Amino acid sequence: MAARALRNPAKNFSTFALPVVTVKPKRLVRISSYDSNEPHFGRTGSHRFDDPKREYGTSYFGLNLATAVAESLLHDLDPVGTRYQVAADEVRRRFIHTFDGMDLTLADLTGQGMNVLGAHAGLFGTANYSIPMRWSRAIYTHPADVDGILYVSRMMAPNLAVVLFDRGGSIALTQRKPSMMLARSAAFATVRKALHISYT
């Protein structure tokens, strides 16, 4: 039997019961080149769950530092041998952000809930973002009015990642403490070793 192809959301997707989960903002970790005013919501239409029409913004997070680093710093790199070669300047220009705020309601695309909606793990594994972007828009316009999506990290499966839409609890987030330079973080030193990152 042929494997099930990754498909667009159903035309009547808005009538489906959307599986949701609540996530506390203090669990979110974001790596960015901005040292303040986070979370930043981009409308470039160039990331996995961006709006294909660029009408709403998105912001991406890990639920731990390693996932946030893998999904940002390493996202577009291929390992050389068994190590990632990263320019030291790329690390020096990035910051770690954590957050406070009200609980976030997210569409749960992590398991059976995703499967019964008609999707599968290809949603966060494919390098072609056109279908994931359509899923993003279908979820954004769904009557459940969720703050974003919980999904499995492509770079760090089975770890989880989050994309937030620029509305509701997402835009009410505040930074828990001043941002920290990634290069000066003791936690990053541990993550760097675990992820096999070498400087060039």
pTM (2 decimals)?
0.94
| Structure confidence at residue 1 as a pLDDT band (50, 70, 90) | low
Q: Which residues lie below 8 Å from residue 110, measured CB to CB, with a gap of 6+?
A: 21, 150, 151, 152, 160
List of long-range contacts for 137-144, beta carbons under 8 Å, 24+ apart? 137/51, 137/52, 137/53, 138/9, 138/13, 138/14, 139/18, 139/107, 140/51, 140/56, 140/165, 141/14, 142/13, 142/14, 142/16, 142/18, 142/107, 143/14, 144/18, 144/20, 144/105, 144/107
User: Tens digit of pLDDT for each residue in 64-93?
Assistant: 999 999 999 999 888 899 999 999 999 999
Domain parsing of the chain, residue ranges? 18-199
Q: What is the pLDDT of residues 8-24, one digit of tens each?
A: 999 999 999 999 999 99
Instruction: Please count the other Cβ atoms lying within 10 Å of the Cβ belonging to residue 114.
Output: 22
SS (H, E, C) 95-164: EEEEEECCCEEEEEECCHHHHHHCCCHHHHCCCCCHHHHHHHHHHHCCCCCCCEEEEECCCCCCCEEEEE
What is the average pLDDT value for the chain, to the nearest integer?
A: 94
Asked whether residue 55 carries a pLDDT value surpassing 60, the answer given is yes
Q: Confidence class of residue 159 from pLDDT cuts 50, 70 and 90?
A: very high
* pLDDT, position 196: 96
Is the per-residue pLDDT at 30 higher than 90? yes
Give the pLDDT confidence of 117-157 residue by residue, as tens digits. 999 999 998 989 999 999 999 999 999 999 999 999 999 99
Q: What is the pLDDT of residue 143?
A: 98
